[in-house]
Structure 1
């Protein structure tokens, strides 16, 4: 058991310093591999094919398919590392059939009218604040909402923006995405740029001191959870009954762009998807666009009897 623990520890060090994985990914790997290790406390050969098969069966009982898929991917990467590093003489996971269907879960997107209500509520809230502190918080919340919808950023990407990575003069933000993939997204809407510049001016000192573009009231990095809470509050102010999350703004951005005939490969690039397969889920979402096309463009409309 001590050997497996040591192997996992070495692998996580390799992921951190050689693969340069981000903290969030490392945390997930650490949790997944710790669960894997703890399930074999009394097992003399935890890396045998039989043990791994039994563990995967337990995962299917306990977790949803998406979580199972992620955990298996982590274990596979770990065992492949051990094999290629010659710490084990055979690769047991390569002999296990792991093809299972993950149910297609369509992303939830907001209609444009709902996003308009959300933004209006945030701007209205700023006008009604009684103190400078409250007003500045409202300015930050507006900037967060505007940037999320303007770019389709993941909330983790937004909270990780450094001051040097956003250029409001030329209108673009440099994003460090999943797998340390860097991409540039342009910001062209005048209202969005105005909101970001107003926020930047109000928070200039805190931004400079903290090293983060979006900061909390204590001058530290704005957390993902704070953004979720802020959006929830703005949705309540706007009297939006459905649950609204930062990721729904990302989905809405992609869906509305697709419905406006933007090429899916451009959307893939903006969202930072490594595979077009991930982006293609949005083709299932745009049912209203499909209905409109069928109504207006179908060739049967040109046939008269």
Structure 2
């Protein structure tokens, strides 16, 4: 098809609106899709490409791969975004253009195992917040310690994403049965149960303390001004106690989510149950945790490995 920047930008916006309605995607996902398409449109404008066709698409992906040397993961994501955009163009403009003459297999993503923290490291992390609470001298810092304690606890005991923690409202938590409503990716909701009485006690304590910060909305976790705590602030809280506890210096808040899933499997949980608790759309996403679940591997090998039943020394 003939390339026209103004037309393409308008079509790209329409594409995002259709995605939002038909697939109910979250704001961050929609932004990523739009950014991927807009970047290709800008590249075409700079390179004076007159046609949006298979050759132009191939040249763009060669540019991503060879000139700016994007990672396989980034290129693969852009492949998905742009391919869906091209399908949208064919449908909207009643065309039958072949935009892609290569598959996403060209950009194979290395399989990385989920990175976790050991039980000892998690214990040190949680203890570092409690230790700080014992030493603070002002009411202000006492309040922040109680808040931070609850954030670290929820990241691990429920395996939450930092965005899910930031999105929590006080009405999402039912104090009577210790249940909490989580809003995950794609606006999907799931109800979880806080199984640790200690974590429930800490959260109840925080809800009373939270009022002292004069919150301006219903956010569960607020900053010193009373506004909702951002995901970046939650990351910084984790990094603060990570460094204080001297655990893996490269760990991120997502390590706690990986640790939550891995320990569930290690302790005998069914993979379907773990999928539901994690809020994964596909069990394929959850299955990667079986790769790091050593206890389950040990149990299977001890029970079923044929060498165990051969009596030859």
Taking structure 1 as the reference length, the TM-score comes to 0.91
Shift in CA distance, 10/205, structure 1 to aligned 2, threshold 3 Å = farther
User: 1: distance between equivalents of 2:78 and 2:94?
Assistant: 21
Instruction: Kindly provide the CA deviation profile for residues 128-157 of structure 1, in whole angstroms up to 9, marking residues without a partner as x.
Output: 111111011111111001111111111111
Q: What are the equivalent positions in structure 2 for 1:163-174 lying under 5 Å apart? A: 163-174=170-181
- The aligned residue for residue 108 of structure 1 is 115
Question: Which has the larger displacement, 294-303 or 267-276?
Answer: 294-303
- The aligned residue for residue 6 of structure 1 is 10
User: Partner of 2:181: helix, strand, or coil?
Assistant: strand
The answer to whether 1:53 aligns with 2:27 is: no
Question: Which has the larger displacement, 48-57 or 5-14?
Answer: 5-14
How many residues align? The count is: 303
Match of 2:149 among 135, 142, 155: 142
User: 2: distance between equivalents of 1:281 and 1:233?
Assistant: 29
- The aligned residue for residue 26 of structure 2 is 22
8 Å Cα contact 2:213-2:224 kept in structure 1: no
Taking structure 2 as the reference length, the TM-score comes to 0.89
- The aligned residue for residue 162 of structure 1 is 169
CA RMSD of aligned residues (A): 2.1
What is the deviation of 1:33? 1.8
Question: Which has the larger displacement, 25-34 or 89-98?
Answer: 89-98
Q: Which consecutive unaligned segments of at least 5 residues does structure 1 have?
A: none
Instruction: Kindly provide the CA deviation profile for residues 29-66 of structure 1, in whole angstroms up to 9, marking residues without a partner as x.
Output: 232122111110011112x1111122122223321111
Question: Which has the larger displacement, 119-128 or 95-104?
Answer: 95-104
The answer to whether 1:74 aligns with 2:78 is: no
Q: Which consecutive unaligned segments of at least 5 residues does structure 2 have?
A: none
8 Å Cα contact 1:232-1:243 kept in structure 2: no
Shift in CA distance, 82/191, structure 1 to aligned 2, threshold 3 Å = same
The answer to whether 1:32 aligns with 2:32 is: no
Q: What are the equivalent positions in structure 2 for 1:268-283 lying under 5 Å apart? A: 268-283=275-290
- The aligned residue for residue 217 of structure 1 is 224
Shift in CA distance, 51/172, structure 1 to aligned 2, threshold 3 Å = same
User: 2: distance between equivalents of 1:164 and 1:18?
Assistant: 29
- The aligned residue for residue 264 of structure 1 is 271
Question: Which has the larger displacement, 124-133 or 87-96?
Answer: 87-96
